[in-house]
Structure 1
């Protein structure tokens, strides 16, 4: 979002100096002008009000025009009467889902009087924070706007602070980017979703750097950290050199060791790659941040990304009939060798690590549940000192050093498996989550920074906060799309930014939701037999669900229907590694 008058004045100064954007530039630092980040598309403002518009259409067109943030929402301001010149467009940005209405407000004056009140009515899905992060909150929305007739034309004379934008218009005018921060335990870069105005594109690198310097969003607060010290800033505006590399000159970095400098470089380069910057000349006080490596590309820092996906050679498996079975391969549905597949245990659910080297299984023992941990499929397993009437399916951290499950819907347990001795158990502080109701499903994201949980039939995401003293807590909880999803049964991570959930509804049996709740998309479900009971997902792999007839697979693309991969198994629980 473009800041208030201060930011506009600063942008004007920078523009007069041949610069772009609203970056933080110290007054005492020299500004080096080489050439702009991209060739100048200034962004043509959408059309203003249509002559002769009635009050309802005028307000509706105003809402659509509010999607463009250019020139302090200059297009939307064309709809305002002089009385509304102080409209505070920077106060907030609310996103409406799909259809919205403009109707006369209750008790509104007759339009023949020359003044009336129009109500904007719809469903809000959330708001864009000042940090450029989307914060989900689906709720009924209404806002009243006063409209007056001046010189024969209707104009808005009073509008509440903030901007209201339909989701489709928001998508047209804002670009999703990932800013990158640091997992303090694994010391790897993790992504944090943000949104920046699409126009002008030349300002996007400056805005991305501004968000990066400001630190993680509320969603990852206390979970991710930044290698930028509090006093770090741009020494000069980021500009493109004559060789095409973006020059980013920082100051206030302090005394960072080489690993910390490399992580900082990864934060900058990965973030700028989101806005089409392919090469970065990263400097500190005019000197290369990394000695001997003045210029960096995404490939140079890719190894520092925490994004982990199951290896292509690690197969998915399924638990059915109390045994862990193959899901594909030369003998689909054949039980795996070893105790989890030969009937020695009555297995209810299971999960392997991303590399397939370890397995955890929840087994039934009378009316209780126990957790077994051991080698990969076919290997020996040992019981862990956990006992409960119910346990959720296991979920592994990306290192394979911890496996999580929920006991009796109320206690989030983690089991430490470090290979140096017997597995050790510990708890996760999940008080904020359990206060919402019983936890029916919980999955760690494959970068280890978040969980998705089904609590009391609702879908939630939260951050995994780890402290130096070893405490682990679930924080920053957000509910995703309650009106669209209804009662949720189970969920899994499709990617670090995408979740797939199954529901008890009929309108949306399977839905894909962005991690921040901005978007929800119905997945084809025309040949499934509800109710659905289990789901498995992973990047670049088909979705797997269990219905009343067995396990089905859907890869999307040109596939017109789900394909059954295991029949006669309504109790099956499919799983991908992780």
Structure 2
């Protein structure tokens, strides 16, 4: 009976709107968050930034740091710029690839201060650089996982020749190095998009481009990136352009008129429409005016880039995001000045004994996944769907061969995977160190992962086609395939400054916020989806972060961009400004009895 009731609710309440011709859902009474998530730090800005040259410093430590940025910029000159730091007699120690287009840069992060030995009688000195391997910056602008395993590099220096200033390197590793600081300073991040597996939604992918590249070259690079396909970790969850798609020549144009000429097999009208939308978003908001799309020199489609983005928005939400938390086992709204705060979309009868929760809009209805506890502190997942307030819930049950009754020692905060088919809702949750997928009736199945170690957290991206995981204390990203159930593709591990990670969520389109230990002290950092550019957000927290929730969709309805909340030491906090969530901000929270200490708000999350 309950299964039939859920089917009726999902069919009558949660069915999606009609699909636009190119595959992105049309707007049907839902709120669109502008044109997508807020711009991320380090985005392309046209700065003509050039790294320092050999003569910029005579200090050995600063000289080597400058050398770690020398390769930044146009690849065909990367080796020449690096060799400018190397003594003439030692330049053959850095062997260049024959094809400059194949140049790959080994990106490293300095782990601590550079160690410089005092110069000897001949004026030579030794510099040791402790590093963390971050990845390999490939010609296609992707940052691939690291290949090298060195934890430090050693350089020998001497004074520059007579008549020259600065220093020269006489001994060095035979690898073209680039520091993560140089990557941040001399490159811009650029987001391109691939259609997901069923070509119904665009999925972001991050690339890097030297900030000196002019706009007309950027158009050409974007076309090459799309034709070259997605990175390995994202590839199983997205659709490539047809085999053989390639630019015939460089893109041309300026002043709002651009022309792209390609070879493409089976270039029918629906495929060209999807490509036009893909290009409009991949070029970015700074590109406006007309784009003329040619196939083998024949004009096949002309679009207004701005109008194309407005007609086919990236993501949909049903209203502005709202903050909630758990107070004394009950979900409550959190009141913050300037932000909306609606009622709890869960019935009072079900809103008891809650440890954590995930709520998601689905059409005009609500998806609710609650983690509840009983007197012996064991926990289980309960799932419901329907119009608010949701009244009917199913208890989590294992449908695999495991001998479990649905109760676990510990269950993490669940996440709904954002789907275009709310009639078949699905989500992910971590329980007792394993990852499980669940459906709208709370049927749970263990998800097989190719990475060993206990799973302690999972988070879903705003697009619904990527997830982040913490496995064995490390941070991973993976694409997911949703076809009736969720399949997690091969995860990729990201390199982070923090160890022993405990929590993660999506902070923006290509940004993650995560918590762990920094030299033994709890901290919260943000990083890019490839792990390249990390930034400390909150240090000296004082206690391990046990839950973390962010809104990755940018600003909407007064909510600041890059908003997140977390729980540490059984107290909920928010970041704008940094402050604990007080009982007075918890709407509907009852006052404690005289002499009884009031509980703290815990398990904060966003409802969108």
Structure 1 length-normalised TM: 0.76
Question: Cα offset for 1:60?
Answer: 4.5
**Residue 500 of structure 1 contacts residue 513 of structure 1 at CA under 8 Å; is this kept in 2?**
yes
**Secondary structure of 2:308 counterpart:** helix
Deviations 1:116-162 (A, max 9, x none): 76544333433323432224669763223455678546534554343
Question: Cα offset for 1:329?
Answer: 8.4
**Bigger shift: residues 164-173 or 152-161:** 152-161
**Residue 47 of structure 2 contacts residue 211 of structure 2 at CA under 8 Å; is this kept in 1?**
no
How far apart, CA to CA, are the structure 1 residues paired with 2:248 and 2:202? 24
- Look up the match of 2:523: 509
**Secondary structure of 1:398 counterpart:** coil
**Residue 449 of structure 1 contacts residue 463 of structure 1 at CA under 8 Å; is this kept in 2?**
yes
Deviations 1:17-42 (A, max 9, x none): xxxxxxxxxxxxxxxxxxxxxxxx99
Is residue 388 of structure 1 aligned with residue 398 of structure 2? no
Deviations 1:259-285 (A, max 9, x none): 332221122222222674654222222
Question: Cα offset for 1:373?
Answer: 1.9
Deviations 1:313-343 (A, max 9, x none): 453322332222222389999984754x346
Question: Cα offset for 1:58?
Answer: 5.1
- Look up the match of 2:373: 364
When residues 170 and 111 of structure 1 are mapped into structure 2, their CA distance, relative to the original with a 3 A threshold, is farther
Is residue 413 of structure 1 aligned with residue 436 of structure 2? yes
Question: Cα offset for 1:191?
Answer: 0.9
Higher relative contact order (CA 8 A, sep 6+): 2
How far apart, CA to CA, are the structure 1 residues paired with 2:345 and 2:63? 70
**Residue 43 of structure 1 contacts residue 70 of structure 1 at CA under 8 Å; is this kept in 2?**
no
- Look up the match of 2:305: 297
When residues 77 and 469 of structure 1 are mapped into structure 2, their CA distance, relative to the original with a 3 A threshold, is same
**Secondary structure of 2:463 counterpart:** coil
How far apart, CA to CA, are the structure 2 residues paired with 1:277 and 1:97? 40
**Secondary structure of 1:475 counterpart:** coil
**Secondary structure of 1:388 counterpart:** coil
- Look up the match of 1:21: none
When residues 45 and 365 of structure 1 are mapped into structure 2, their CA distance, relative to the original with a 3 A threshold, is closer
Q: Which of 449, 456, 464 is the equivalent residue of 1:431?
A: 449
Is residue 522 of structure 1 aligned with residue 522 of structure 2? no
- Look up the match of 1:544: 565
- Look up the match of 2:68: 63
Question: Cα offset for 1:177?
Answer: 0.3
Question: Cα offset for 1:56?
Answer: 6.4
Question: Cα offset for 1:194?
Answer: 0.7
**Secondary structure of 1:76 counterpart:** helix
Question: Cα offset for 1:443?
Answer: 1.4
**Residue 103 of structure 1 contacts residue 119 of structure 1 at CA under 8 Å; is this kept in 2?**
yes
Is residue 171 of structure 1 aligned with residue 184 of structure 2? yes
**Secondary structure of 1:210 counterpart:** helix
When residues 266 and 183 of structure 1 are mapped into structure 2, their CA distance, relative to the original with a 3 A threshold, is same
- Look up the match of 2:134: 125
**Residue 253 of structure 2 contacts residue 259 of structure 2 at CA under 8 Å; is this kept in 1?**
yes
How far apart, CA to CA, are the structure 2 residues paired with 1:543 and 1:136? 27
Question: Cα offset for 1:170?
Answer: 2.0
How far apart, CA to CA, are the structure 2 residues paired with 1:495 and 1:354? 19
- Look up the match of 1:244: 256
Question: Cα offset for 1:174?
Answer: 0.9
Question: Cα offset for 1:439?
Answer: 1.7
When residues 267 and 97 of structure 1 are mapped into structure 2, their CA distance, relative to the original with a 3 A threshold, is farther
Q: Which of 120, 139, 143 is the equivalent residue of 1:134?
A: 143
- Look up the match of 1:443: 459
- Look up the match of 2:487: 472
When residues 469 and 214 of structure 1 are mapped into structure 2, their CA distance, relative to the original with a 3 A threshold, is farther
**Residue 88 of structure 1 contacts residue 161 of structure 1 at CA under 8 Å; is this kept in 2?**
no
Question: Cα offset for 1:518?
Answer: 1.7
Structure 2 length-normalised TM: 0.73
How far apart, CA to CA, are the structure 1 residues paired with 2:126 and 2:446? 52
Q: Which of 77, 86, 106 is the equivalent residue of 1:72?
A: 77
Cα RMSD after superposing both structures: 3.9
Question: Cα offset for 1:345?
Answer: 4.4
Unaligned runs of 5+ residues in structure 1 are: 1-40, 418-422
**Residue 134 of structure 2 contacts residue 145 of structure 2 at CA under 8 Å; is this kept in 1?**
yes
Unaligned runs of 5+ residues in structure 2 are: 1-45, 98-102, 399-405, 590-597
When residues 190 and 142 of structure 1 are mapped into structure 2, their CA distance, relative to the original with a 3 A threshold, is same
When residues 63 and 316 of structure 1 are mapped into structure 2, their CA distance, relative to the original with a 3 A threshold, is closer
